[in-house]
Structure 1
């Protein structure tokens, strides 16, 4: 890709990220193009569909969360690794209102531009869960799909202004329900700042 085309693409992604952060994933593509000071045709030349735009925008975050899962697998206690990763996923998903709905749909739709990234992300969480289950630190009646669904549920909760103040408490309740060791508590130190 030529340097000027790369620069234009990066500018469109930056503008799209800000617009989606403010208005959610259903923001108009025309509005994104207007904010980027380009025509809709230019936006569509780079990203022919909304999903293609979202996949390009979210891929880096998916890759970072997958890498975080690998790092946590190699260090720390089994339960802390699982809870820390779920907490990081929830914090990230609240940056883009509505992204969890798209992610849940993309898991089932093999034609979705987001499918591969979402499947990889779910598999990363499943590995952390399996590791915790093998150590007897997490209940055995849940799987990676359940962890993915819990991330979506907790992210949705954080997006609701009337419920957001309860989000951290309810995260701890859910995390404690996943863990099996008596006295296992989610580590306060692992809680990232909520970005809005």
Structure 2
């Protein structure tokens, strides 16, 4: 017997849970309880548990969805190497600056779906890096692995800067990534 498609209300509940969880985890990190997420989503705790057996599975679903959106953006930006590379890094830094769980997950393991999203993101980032290097705007000795480490450091800097100074860490990092003399 073929598997039945989920009911429309179950799909709406799942989407609402993911929306609420994304906001809660971004603002408060993984410490937010599933019961609090259920209450904010207007569903019972059992509904949350039917969709996500553990908090970790909910976090993975939220982060996977976000990584897929970021990977989509990296794949879109393949037209102007001198602008796209830095625009993408600025978007990524901005997305992770105030998102506790996303910032932590950028270097973590999320399971098969999350890992696939992370692989897509790495491929998109690598394509942007290669294009920018070929255009001569980014130092040629940089690898995508090193760039991941640098991005992680830049996000950590951004999270610690006082209000009103957002972007300072990224600006300094961007200067260091540019080809000397450009």
What band does the TM-score fall into relative to the shorter chain? 0.7 to 0.9
Query: Residue 132 of structure 1 corresponds to which residue in structure 2?
Result: 132
Q: Does residue 1:94 correspond to 2:97, yes or no?
A: yes
Query: Residue 168 of structure 2 corresponds to which residue in structure 1?
Result: 169
Distance in 1 of aligned mates of 2:169 and 2:107: 21
CA contact (8 A) 1:79 1:179 kept: no
Distance in 1 of aligned mates of 2:101 and 2:175: 26
Q: Does residue 1:81 correspond to 2:81, yes or no?
A: no
Distance in 2 of aligned mates of 1:84 and 1:92: 12
Q: Does residue 1:72 correspond to 2:77, yes or no?
A: yes
Cα offsets for 1:21-54 (capped at 9, x unmatched): 3212332223222333434332121012334323
Cα offsets for 1:165-186 (capped at 9, x unmatched): 4441221111111110523xxx
Cα offsets for 1:105-157 (capped at 9, x unmatched): 21xx7x46522211211221111111222233211222112222233222222
CA 1:66–1:112: 2 relative to 1, 3 Å: closer
Name the count of aligned residue pairs.
177
CA 1:156–1:14: 2 relative to 1, 3 Å: same
Distance in 1 of aligned mates of 2:133 and 2:16: 44
CA contact (8 A) 2:18 2:62 kept: yes
Structure 2: gaps spanning 5 or more residues: 1-5
Q: Does residue 1:4 correspond to 2:4, yes or no?
A: no
Query: Residue 104 of structure 1 corresponds to which residue in structure 2?
Result: 107
What SS does the aligned partner of 2:43 have? coil
TM-score by length of 2: 0.82
Distance in 2 of aligned mates of 1:50 and 1:82: 34
Query: Residue 3 of structure 2 corresponds to which residue in structure 1?
Result: none
CA 1:151–1:51: 2 relative to 1, 3 Å: farther
CA contact (8 A) 1:157 1:163 kept: no
Cα displacement (A) at 1:84:
0.6
Q: CA RMSD in A?
A: 2.3
CA 1:99–1:165: 2 relative to 1, 3 Å: same
Distance in 2 of aligned mates of 1:101 and 1:21: 10
